[in-house]
Amino acid sequence: MTHRRIERRVPAADVSLPHTLHPLLRRIYAARGALTAADLDHALSALHDFRGFHGMRAAVALLAKCLGHDLKILIVGDFDADGATSSALGVRALRMLGARHVDYLVPNRFEYGYGLTPEIVALAATRNPHLIVTVDNGISSHVGVAAARAAGIHVLVTDHHLPGATLPDADAILNPNLPDDGFPSKCLAGVGVTFYLLLALRAHLRESGWFTQRAIPEPNLAELLDIVALGTVADLVPLDHNNRVLVAQGLARIRAGQCVPGIQALLRTAQRELQQVTAADLGFAVAPRLNAAGRLTDMSLGIECLLAEDESRARELAAKLDALNRERRAIEAQMREEALHALEQMSLSTDDATLPFGLCLFNAEWHQGVIGLVAARIKDRMHRPVIAFARAEDGQLKGSARSVAGVHIRDVLEAVDTRHPGLIAKFGGHAMAAGLSLAAQHYEEFARAFDVEVRGWLKTADLNGVLYTDGELEPEYLTLECAVLLRTAGPWGQAFPEPSFDGVFQILERRIVGNGHVKLTLAEPRSHAHVDAIAFHPVGEHLPPDCPQARVVYRPEVNAWHGETRLQLLVEYIEPVVP
């Protein structure tokens, strides 16, 4: 077993949080950089102004022209949950704003690959759009944008991915991560960029008298924040203050039953109560079901679920997505076992100093749509960046990369590309996740180059992994009431993590349940209070049967069972302690 290093977050000293705030929350917020009451303000008025976007005026002008002249708009999205929510948001909102000819097109990852490719442009051209609007993609689609312009189609790129050295020749580009862009938050998901574009378009239409002239009621776009919240959480973008406002507002609407039928159906399919929904439910229950369509078949199924107006239709589509997700889980489990077996065959383990710092894995039988999940699972187990590859068309390999804190994976790929021109066919992504393509014959050379580059970012000590906690939880806070308080005090997510704690507990009882999970009864040594805990496989697999006490990293959770709610500790890590 690899022993993880536990580091406790240190709350900032200069805090101006309200004194009425629970002391535990004061400490947790201060450790995450939320230092004032304004940092906890989740009102819509706390959002940044859309005027901060450098390309907003040109983007709005393109859309306003289409509405004014009744021209066709085609939204081209990505095949993940961010792309699906961006597409559904764009279609719904533009129709609410008075667009009569708006539709979407999402590439099938197995036929067309990612982004606005010339092949997708050719397919789009059969629908005769005046304007293509990319959502959650397009910033690296130089050839596709050129093909659209050559075909007489205008292009508006909306994206949040990091741009390359040059930009595509689009009519307008909206991306907070452009070098000269003034929008304060660089953490928006694609769906967040789309939402801001629609806010700006509505303001322009209002000022021009559009709603009065057309006798159209001015829509409340906040009604669509449930879709924005889902895409933001699903894409794992950092939850800075602006994103927390978007997510909190969306969650409030879901809890009030004011969400689109598709999200409601997906939550009920996942057996989640609408009134109790958290960001974690969106990330771990709804997003995987939505993503399953893009991973295994066609994301149009997920978009149609989000566009459904009829509850029975939404339930039908949610059931199909749920079935696909079950199939995805089975495929992922097999691929994960194959990946671990491959590591064993290489005579490697998490303690082996010969394990590459940047790890590449390839299996000719692996499913293209699931490699990202496998990379994430192996990354979590090995505590280092991982790229999983699958075979694609024309002798190419598709890779999906997942990284760890301290390693900006897109920058790593850019460095490899710079040092080894022509080795990578194309790449793109974020700090923590990226995708790439390369020729199959270049795999071994790339794997070596990737490892060399990652070694410049990590030290050997980093490879055991670090668990950050909020320290020990005082005995008086080890209660169901505090678990409820923490659950509702979010939204928690990327870069604003859900609170976790560490401490030494006596083990009073342990038993195996389910598929290797360990159910525990623990005693808090200071108060001697007994508390239930569960360590899901494989967290508890290395705990000796006769271990009297252990150091535990855990999250207090509300366990609802047969109409009763009790405190339960969700164990994230556990190691024996010698008395």
* CATH code at position 498: 2.40.50.460
Cis peptide before 538 (omega within 30 of 0): yes
Q: Clarify whether residues 420 and 567 are in a common domain.
A: no
Q: Give every residue of the chain whose pLDDT is below 50, as ranges.
A: 1, 349-350
Q: Cα separation of 380 and 465, whole Å? A: 9
Q: What is the CATH number of the domain that holds 88?
A: 3.90.1640.30
Run of H or E including 68 = helix 56-68
Same domain, 549 and 423: no
The answer to whether 475 touches 389, Cβ cutoff 8 Å, is: no
| Shared domain check, 194 and 151 | yes
DSSP E strands in 441-490: the ranges are: 466-469
Residues 127 and 241 both lie in one domain? yes
- For residue 9, being part of any structural domain is answered with no
Among 102, 228, 107, CA closest to 156: 102
Whether residues 116 and 67 fall in one domain? yes
- 212 membership: H or E segment, kind and range: helix 210-214
Instruction: Give the list of residues 6+ apart from residue 578 with CB closer than 8 angstroms, or none.
Output: none
Provide the 3-class DSSP secondary structure of residue 308.
Answer: coil
Q: Does 15 fall in a domain? A: no
User: Both 177 and 199 in a single domain?
Assistant: yes
Number of domains, the chain: 3
Q: Which of 464, 489, 521 is the last residue before a domain boundary?
A: 464
Helix or strand (DSSP H, E) at 396: strand 396-402
What's the distance, CA 507 to chain centroid?
Answer: 36
How far is residue 454 from each of residues 185, 186, 418, measured CA to CA in Å?
A: 28, 25, 14
Q: Are residues 477 and 452 in the same domain?
A: no
Which residues have C-beta within 8 Å of that of residue 288, sequence separation ≥ 6?
A: 325, 328
Domain shared by 284 and 404, yes or no:
no
Residue 493 forms part of a structural domain: yes
Q: How many residues are recorded in the chain?
A: 579
Angle at 166 between CA 386 and CA 404, to 5 degrees: 20
Does 331 fall in a domain?
no
Residue from 162, 196, 185 nearest 244 by CA? 185
Final residue belonging to a domain, choices 400, 431, 464: 464
Look at residue 402 and tell me if it is in a domain: yes
Residue-number span of the structural domain to which 197 is assigned? 46-321
Q: Residue 214 domain-assigned? A: yes
Instruction: Compute CA distances 543 → 7, 520, 527, whole Å.
Output: 21, 11, 24
Q: Shortest CA distance to 94 belongs to which of 124, 60, 122? A: 60
Q: Which helix (H) or strand (E) holds 552?
A: strand 549-561
In which residue are the tokens 């194959």 written?
338
Q: What is the largest CA-CA distance in the chain?
A: 79
Are the C-beta atoms of 474 and 452 separated by less than 8 Å? no
Question: By the 8 A CB rule, do 464 and 383 touch?
Answer: yes
SS3 546: coil
Residue 187, φ and ψ in degrees, nearest 5: -105, 5
301 and 350 in one domain? no
Q: What is the pLDDT of residue 350?
A: 47
- The pLDDT assigned to 122 comes to 96
Amino acid at 437: S
Specify the residue for token string 């771990």: 284
Residue 211 sits in the same domain as residue 67: yes
Distance CA 41, CA 51 (A): 21
* CATH number for position 419: 3.10.310.30
Q: Say which residues have a Cβ less than 8 Å from residue 526's Cβ, sequence separation at least 6.
A: 475
Q: How many angstroms from the chain centroid is the CA of residue 411?
A: 19
Residue 333 lies in a domain: no
Query: Are 205 and 298 in the same domain?
Result: yes
Identify whether 517 is part of a domain: yes
Quick check: 335 and 370 in contact, CB under 8 A?
Answer: yes
Using DSSP's 3-state secondary structure scheme, residue 105 falls into strand
Same domain, 171 and 270: yes
Q: Which of 417, 437, 464 is at the close of a domain? A: 464
